[in-house]
C-alpha cells in the first residue's frame, strides 16, 4: 500500500522494538537524564505508530463502506463516508508533519530568542508582541515554557527575551519561525499617527543533551554575573544571580536570569550556548550557514524578513518563503501559527526530497 512508502510504518515499528529493548535493559535508569530522553523518544515513535495504524484502519473501513454502498446503491451510506473524509484528511496531514520531523533534534525541546531590530521603540514593542505570540502558541500546543531571560525596553516592549520550550517536536515545529519578522502598522508611539515599519528577529535552536559532543573550551568563554532585573521593590534580585556568557571565537552571547541560583543560571546558559554552537556546526556541515546568530541580529531590517504582518492599510500576514497568507492578523498574533509552520515544513521536505533525487 501507498501508506508504507509515505510513513515507513515497518521502519517505525522496528525502531520502537529497539527502543523498548533499550528501556528494558538492566541498569536503564542508572543515567536518569539519558533514560528520560529515551522514554520521550519512545513515546514519540509509539504515538506515530498508533496514529498511522489507526489511519490505515480508518481508510480501509471507509473503502469497504464505499464498496458496500456501491453494491447496494445506498446514497445515504455514501454521504456518511463523504462526511468522514475531511477528518481523516486532517489527521493524515498531522501524521505527515510528524514524518517530516525526521532529525533526532526535531523531536526534542527548543530554545527561542526574540530580539528587536530596526524601528526603535516600535521594534521593541513588536518584539514583545512576537514573544507573546509564541507563548500563546505554546499554550495551544500544550508545551511547557520556561522564561530564561526577559529584558524590558526603556519605553515599551523588550530589548531581548528567551524561553525554553519543552514538549514532543518543539524544535521541529519552531525551527519554521527562524528569521526576521516585519510589522507594518499605525504606530501607537507616533503622535501624528503615521504608519511605521518595525522588525524583530526570532532565533530557535535545539536544547541538546549533554551526550551530544560540542567543543567548548573554558578559555574561550567570558563569564559575567549581574543582578537579575525586576519590577522593583521585593521583585529586585539583591544578589548577582544572572549570568552572561560570551563565546569569544564565535561572538555568540547568551544570558539567563530565570533562577535565583547563579549555579542554575550558569547551567542553563551553557545549555543555550551548546544549542547555538550545535546548530552552527550542523549548518556549516551542510554549507547553509549564511545567517549566523550575530549576522542575523545585525540584518534585522528591510529585505531580510521571512514573514510580514500588515495591520494597516489592510490586514494580512504573508510568509515570504512559502507565499502562505492569512488575513486574520489578530488570530495569528494570538498564536494561530500552525498553517504557516505546516506550509514551511512541507516546502522544506519537498526541497530535501528533490535534492536527494537529483
**Strand blocks (E) in 187-315:** 195-206, 221-226, 242-247, 252-256, 305-310
What are the cell numbers at 324?
Answer: 502562505
Q: Could you give the strand order of the β-sheet that contains 252-256, starting from the edge strand earlier in sequence?
A: 221-226, 242-247, 252-256
User: Which residues touch 2 (CB under 8 Å, ≥6 apart)?
Assistant: none
What is the value of pTM for the model shown? 0.69
Cα distances (angstroms) measured from residue 102 to each of 7, 16, 25, 41, 303 = 11, 15, 26, 12, 31
What are the cell numbers at 130?
Answer: 512576537
Measured CA to CA, the distance from residue 309 to residue 327 in angstroms comes to 9
Measured CA to CA, the distance from residue 286 to residue 101 in angstroms comes to 17
CATH 1.10.150.530 fits 2-100, yes or no: no
pLDDT tens sequence for the chain (358 residues) = 344 445 678 888 898 999 999 999 999 999 887 888 788 788 878 887 888 888 888 888 888 888 888 888 888 888 888 888 888 887 887 777 777 787 778 888 999 999 999 778 999 999 999 999 999 999 999 999 999 889 899 889 999 999 999 998 899 999 999 999 999 999 999 888 899 999 999 999 888 766 566 778 888 888 888 776 544 444 445 566 788 888 888 888 888 887 778 888 888 888 888 888 877 776 665 554 444 444 444 456 666 799 999 999 999 999 999 999 999 999 999 999 999 999 999 888 765 544 444 4
Q: Between helices 32-72 and 75-100, what is the axis angle to 10°?
A: 160
Cβ-based burial of 77 (10 A; exposed 0-12, middle 13-18, buried ≥19): middle
Please list the residue range(s) of the chain that carry CATH number 3.30.70.1660: 115-357
CATH 3.40.50.11900 fits 115-357, yes or no: no
Cα distances (angstroms) measured from residue 288 to each of 91, 106, 217 = 33, 18, 25
Measured CA to CA, the distance from residue 300 to residue 291 in angstroms comes to 11
Please list the residue range(s) of the chain that carry CATH number 1.20.58.410: 2-100
Amino acid at each position: 500500500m501507498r501508506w508504507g512508502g509515505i510513513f515507513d510504518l515497518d521502519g517505525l515499528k522496528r525502531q520502537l522494538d529497539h527502543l523498548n529493548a533499550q528501556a528494558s535493559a538492566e541498569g536503564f535508569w542508572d543515567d536518569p537524564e539519558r533514560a528520560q530522553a529515551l522514554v520521550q523518544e519512545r513515546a514519540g515513535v509509539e504515538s506515530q505508530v498508533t496514529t498511522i495504524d489507526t489511519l490505515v484502519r480508518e481508510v480501509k473501513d471507509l473503502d469497504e463502506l464505499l464498496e458496500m454502498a456501491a453494491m447496494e446503491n445506498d446514497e445515504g451510506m455514501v454521504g456518511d463516508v463523504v462526511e468522514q473524509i475531511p477528518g481523516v484528511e486532517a489527521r493524515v496531514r498531522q501524521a505527515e508533519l510528524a514524518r517530516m520531523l525526521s532529525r533526532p533534534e526535531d523531536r526534542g525541546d527548543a530554545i527561542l530568542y526574540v530580539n528587536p531590530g530596526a524601528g526603535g521603540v516600535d521594534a521593541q514593542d513588536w518584539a514583545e508582541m512576537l514573544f507573546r505570540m509564541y507563548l500563546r502558541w505554546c499554550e495551544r500546543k500544550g508545551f511547557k515554557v520556561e522564561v530564561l531571560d526577559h529584558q524590558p525596553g526603556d519605553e515599551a516592549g523588550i530589548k531581548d527575551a528567551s524561553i525554553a520550550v519543552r514538549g514532543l517536536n518543539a524544535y521541529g515545529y519552531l525551527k519554521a519561525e527562524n528569521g526576521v519578522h516585519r510589522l507594518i502598522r499605525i504606530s501607537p508611539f507616533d503622535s501624528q499617527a503615521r504608519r511605521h515599519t518595525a522588525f524583530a528577529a526570532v532565533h530557535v535552536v535545539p536544547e541538546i543533551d549533554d551526550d551530544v559532543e560540542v567543543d567548548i573550551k573554558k578559555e574561550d568563554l567570558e563569564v559575567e554575573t549581574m543582578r537579575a532585573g525586576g519590577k522593583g521593590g521585593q521583585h529586585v534580585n539583591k544578589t548577582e544571580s544572572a549570568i552572561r556568557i560570551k563565546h569569544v571565537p564565535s561572538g555568540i552571547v547568551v544570558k539567563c536570569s530565570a533562577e535565583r541560583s547563579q549555579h542554575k543560571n550558569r547551567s542553563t546558559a551553557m545549555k543555550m550556548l551548546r544549542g547555538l554552537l550545535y546548530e552552527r556546526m550542523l549548518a556549516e556541515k551542510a554549507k547553509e550557514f549564511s545567517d549566523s546568530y550575530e549576522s542575523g541580529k545585525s540584518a534585522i531590517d528591510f529585505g531580510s524578513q521571512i514573514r510580514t504582518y500588515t495591520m494597516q492599510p489592510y490586514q494580512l500576514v504573508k510568509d515570504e518563503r512559502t507565499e502562505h497568507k492569512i488575513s486574520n492578523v489578530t488570530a495569528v498574533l494570538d498564536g494561530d501559527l500552525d498553517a504557516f509552520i505546516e506550509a514551511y515544513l512541507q516546502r522544506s521536505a519537498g526541497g530535501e526530497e528533490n535534492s536527494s533525487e537529483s
